[in-house]
Amino acid sequence: MGDCAGVNAHGDATWNCLCDCGKKVVVAGCRLKSGNTKSCGCLWQEMMHNRKRRSNNVYASYNGKTKLLLEWCYDLKINYNSAYKRLKAGKPSSQVLGLPSIQKDKWWIKD
């Protein structure tokens, strides 16, 4: 943590910080104190990159449309981990994605 950068619109003191990756960022003191800020955003980007890399071979087909499970989750605003667990438990795509049941919905993992 560096020197005080001023005050934000909410009246919180802000601080000039240096992330472990080397990027300089200004962070509200309340976010530092609560532990809600752990990086400049680089950790989140790395986590999303790793999640996408791991999930690049899981597909779901619903109503004639086939997409990566991660894309379905993003489009439908559902949690990927929950959907993946339902999928691995043998649920049909409609239940995995929380959509009305239809015939011919399926999922698979590409080798």
- Given this model, what pLDDT does residue 15 score? 92
Question: Domain ranges in the chain?
Answer: 4-40, 55-109
Tokens for 22, please give them.
């080397």
pTM exceeds 0.75, yes or no: no
- Given this model, what pLDDT does residue 111 score? 43
Q: Are 1 and 17 in contact (CB under 8 A)?
A: yes
Q: What is the pLDDT of residues 5-54, one digit of tens each?
A: 888 888 889 999 998 888 999 989 888 888 888 888 888 777 777 766 66
Return the DSSP state at 39. S
Cβ count within 10 A of residue 73: 21
Q: What is the pLDDT of residues 68-111, one digit of tens each?
A: 888 888 888 888 888 888 888 888 777 778 777 665 555 555 54
